[in-house]
Structure 1
Amino acid sequence: MIVITGATGALNGATVDHLLTLVPASEIAVAVRDISKAERFTDLGITVRHGDYADAATLPSAFEGADQLLLVSSSDPRADAVDLHRVAIDAAVAAGVGRILYTSHQGAGLDSPFNPARDHAATEQLLADSGVAWTSLRNGFYAHSLNWLLGDWRQTGVITIPVDGPMSWTSRDDEAEAAAIILASGGGFDGPTTLTASAAPTFAEITAIASEVAGSDVELRVVGDADWMALQIAQGTPEFVAGFTLGTFQAAAQGRFAGVDPLLAELLSREPHTVRDALEAPAEH
Structure 2
Amino acid sequence: MSAAHIAVTGSTGAVGGLVARALSEAGEPTRLLVRDPARAPRLERSDVREASYGDRDAVGRALDGVSTVFMVSAAESAERLEEHRTFIDAAAAAGVEHVVYTSFQGAAPDATFTLARDHWATERHLEDSGMAWTFLRDSFYLDLIPLFAGDDGVIRGPAGEGRVAAVARHDVAAVGTRVLLDGTSHRDMSYTLTGPEALTLAEIAATVTRVTGREVSFHDETIEEAYASRSVWPAPQWQYDAWVSTYTAIARGEVAEVSGDVERVTGRAPLSLERVLRSAER
Judged with a 3 Å threshold, the aligned counterparts in structure 2 of structure 1 residues 94 and 249 are, in CA distance, closer, same or farther, namely: same
Equivalent-residue separation in structure 2 for 1:219 and 1:76 (angstroms): 27
Q: Which residue of 2 aligns with 1:96?
A: 95
Q: Which residue of 2 aligns with 1:75?
A: 75
Any idea what SS the aligned residue of 2:134 has? strand
Q: Does 1:106 align with 2:125?
A: no
Q: Which residue of 2 aligns with 1:35?
A: 37
The alignment's TM-score, normalised by the length of structure 1, stands at 0.87
Any idea what SS the aligned residue of 1:231 has? helix
Aligned counterpart in structure 1 of residue 194 of structure 2, from 193, 196, 202: 196
Q: Which residue of 1 aligns with 2:172?
A: 175
Aligned counterpart in structure 2 of residue 252 of structure 1, from 250, 253, 256: 250
Any idea what SS the aligned residue of 1:111 has? coil
- 1:262, distance to aligned residue in structure 2 (A): 1.0
Is the contact between residue 158 and residue 251 of structure 2 (CA under 8 Å) also seen in structure 1? no
Q: Which residue of 2 aligns with 1:16?
A: 20
- 1:268, distance to aligned residue in structure 2 (A): 3.2
Q: Which residue of 2 aligns with 1:54?
A: 54
Is the contact between residue 205 and residue 217 of structure 2 (CA under 8 Å) also seen in structure 1? yes
Equivalent-residue separation in structure 1 for 2:107 and 2:204 (angstroms): 23
- 1:211, distance to aligned residue in structure 2 (A): 4.3
Is the contact between residue 151 and residue 159 of structure 1 (CA under 8 Å) also seen in structure 2? yes
Any idea what SS the aligned residue of 1:3 has? strand
Q: Does 1:160 align with 2:156?
A: yes
Q: Which residue of 2 aligns with 1:2?
A: 6
Counterpart code for 2:34 = V
Any idea what SS the aligned residue of 2:250 has? helix
Is the contact between residue 197 and residue 265 of structure 1 (CA under 8 Å) also seen in structure 2? no
Q: Which residue of 2 aligns with 1:138?
A: 137
Counterpart code for 2:33 = A
Judged with a 3 Å threshold, the aligned counterparts in structure 2 of structure 1 residues 131 and 228 are, in CA distance, closer, same or farther, namely: same
Counterpart code for 1:245 = W
Q: Which residue of 1 aligns with 2:64?
A: 64
Judged with a 3 Å threshold, the aligned counterparts in structure 2 of structure 1 residues 185 and 214 are, in CA distance, closer, same or farther, namely: closer
**Number of aligned residue pairs:** 273
Is the contact between residue 19 and residue 181 of structure 1 (CA under 8 Å) also seen in structure 2? no
Aligned residues: CA RMSD: 2.3
Aligned counterpart in structure 2 of residue 187 of structure 1, from 172, 181, 184: 184
The alignment's TM-score, normalised by the length of structure 2, stands at 0.87
User: Which whole-Å deviations, capped at 9, do the CAs of 1:145-165 have from their partners, x for residues lacking one?
Assistant: 21332334xx54x44332222
Any idea what SS the aligned residue of 1:247 has? helix
Equivalent-residue separation in structure 2 for 1:231 and 1:91 (angstroms): 41
Q: Which runs of 5+ in 2 are unaligned?
A: none
Aligned counterpart in structure 2 of residue 223 of structure 1, from 221, 226, 230: 221
Equivalent-residue separation in structure 2 for 1:20 and 1:274 (angstroms): 26
Judged with a 3 Å threshold, the aligned counterparts in structure 2 of structure 1 residues 192 and 267 are, in CA distance, closer, same or farther, namely: closer
Is the contact between residue 114 and residue 241 of structure 2 (CA under 8 Å) also seen in structure 1? no
Equivalent-residue separation in structure 1 for 2:46 and 2:216 (angstroms): 47
Q: Which residue of 1 aligns with 2:263?
A: 265
Q: Which runs of 5+ in 1 are unaligned?
A: none
Judged with a 3 Å threshold, the aligned counterparts in structure 2 of structure 1 residues 279 and 232 are, in CA distance, closer, same or farther, namely: farther
Any idea what SS the aligned residue of 1:48 has? strand
Q: Which residue of 1 aligns with 2:116?
A: 117
Judged with a 3 Å threshold, the aligned counterparts in structure 2 of structure 1 residues 202 and 46 are, in CA distance, closer, same or farther, namely: same
Any idea what SS the aligned residue of 1:188 has? helix
Any idea what SS the aligned residue of 1:103 has? strand
Equivalent-residue separation in structure 2 for 1:2 and 1:101 (angstroms): 10
Is the contact between residue 198 and residue 260 of structure 1 (CA under 8 Å) also seen in structure 2? yes
Q: State percent identity of aligned pairs.
A: 34
